[in-house]
């Protein structure tokens, strides 16, 4: 059911934040009790009933805030994966690459959190408890923790590729439909970095055909 989940993520960042977030489901494709949540509340002083959050000048639209609220947990959930890759990868070059990408993600998270702060929204994770496409799950991390050797590298690379591809896709949607120039510029930076990271990963460990 991952294909359906990916479509939901793209709809989220395409400006349909309210409709999607209200029907957000786990990657299993089934909506478990308590796994649904409403749209993000407008920032203090923002227009009542607005779709998404607005700062004092109204520069942010629903796509901007939806992208930020998705990208932050996507990056946060990838840090443990990258930590495992940097510490347990079989190929030394893969370990080094995982460490470099982890450092890049930490810096990126700082920019994403600062951008979310400009919207006036609290830093709450609106996707908490949801395994959205591009987010590594606890079960996947546990399975990776028991893998060794080349099998570890292949499993790690598969999870990382999904994160890189999904985050690049939603960043393209933010560039196309976002309203805030700074947020769209940040999305462009994310998209570029994902392309470089994907190329480096594929050079080390080509994806299966």
Residues 134-153: pLDDT tens digits?
889 999 999 999 999 999 99
**How many Å apart are CA 187 and CA 74, to the nearest integer?**
14
In a domain, 209, yes or no: no
Instruction: Name the nearest CA neighbour of 108 among 8, 199, 192.
Output: 192
* CATH number of the domain where residue 74 is located: 1.20.1260.10
pTM: 0.75
For 31-61, write each residue's pLDDT tens digit: 333 333 333 333 322 322 233 344 434 589 9
Q: Which domain holds residue 111?
A: 2-204
Give 52: exposed, middle or buried? Use CB within 10 Å, 0-12, 13-18, 19+: buried
How many CB atoms lie under 10 A from the CB of residue 11?
17
In a domain, 38, yes or no: yes
In a domain, 80, yes or no: yes
What angle do helix axes 62-88 and 138-146 make, rounded to 10 degrees?
10
Indicate the pLDDT class of residue 17, thresholds 50, 70 and 90: very low
Please give the pLDDT value at position 58.
55
Indicate the pLDDT class of residue 123, thresholds 50, 70 and 90: confident
**Average pLDDT taken over every residue of the chain:** 79
Rg (CA), the chain: 17
Give the chain's domain count.
Answer: 1
CA distances from 140 to 38, 62, 155, 207 (A): 27, 31, 9, 18
């Amino acid at each position: 059911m991952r294909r359906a989940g990916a479509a939901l993520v793209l709809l989220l960042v395409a400006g349909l934040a309210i409709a999607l977030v209200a029907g957000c489901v786990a990657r299993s494709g089934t909506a478990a009790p308590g796994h649904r949540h409403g749209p993000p509340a407008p920032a203090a002083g923002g227009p009542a009933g607005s779709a998404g959050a607005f700062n004092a000048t109204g520069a942010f639209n629903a796509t901007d805030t939806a992208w930020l609220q998705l990208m932050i947990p996507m990056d946060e959930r990838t840090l443990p994966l990258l930590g495992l890759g940097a510490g347990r990868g079989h190929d030394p070059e893969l370990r080094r690459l995982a460490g470099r990408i982890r450092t890049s993600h930490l810096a990126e998270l700082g920019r994403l959190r600062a951008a979310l702060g400009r919207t006036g929204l609290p830093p709450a994770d609106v996707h908490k408890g949801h395994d959205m496409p591009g987010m590594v799950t606890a079960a996947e991390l546990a399975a990776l923790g028991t893998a060794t050797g080349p099998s570890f590298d292949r499993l790690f690379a598969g999870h990382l590729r999904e994160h890189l591809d999904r985050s690049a896709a939603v960043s393209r949607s933010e560039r196309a439909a976002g309203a805030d120039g700074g947020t769209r510029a940040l999305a462009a930076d994310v998209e570029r970095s994902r392309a470089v990271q994907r190329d480096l990963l594929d050079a080390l460990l080509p994806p299966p055909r």
